[in-house]
Amino acid sequence: MTYVYIIESVYNRKEHYVGLAGNLKIRLRDHNSGKSSHTARYKPWHLVCYFAFADEKKARVFEKYLKSGSGKSFLNRHFI
């Protein structure tokens, strides 16, 4: 499975990150340990939601959509 996930900063609730991972537990641990330069500044993070895909290509397309303007609006309306 490939996961598209949304995480939120514990201390700065306005900071969110959308990502893609094969192993969600390890990826969240990486974010919280500062291994990702994109998220290290706002750690620690907690998982808001995730979507599981059997097809990695579809997961990548969905992640790209969530990072677009209309995808961000969708996230704000339904998940954040």
80 falls in which pLDDT band (50, 70, 90)?
confident
Q: What is the mean pLDDT of residues 5-27?
A: 96
Q: Buried b vs exposed e over 14-40: b needs ≥16 C-beta within 10 Å?
A: eebbbbbbeebeebbeebbeeeeeebe
Write down the pLDDT at residue 51. Answer: 97
Domain assignment of residue 33, given as a range:
2-78
Global confidence as pTM: 0.92
- Statement: residue 5 has pLDDT above 90: yes
pLDDT digit string, tens, across residues 24-54: 999 999 999 999 899 999 999 999 999 999 9
The structural domain count of the chain equals: 1
What CATH number does residue 14 fall under? 3.40.1440.10
- Statement: residue 79 has pLDDT above 90: no
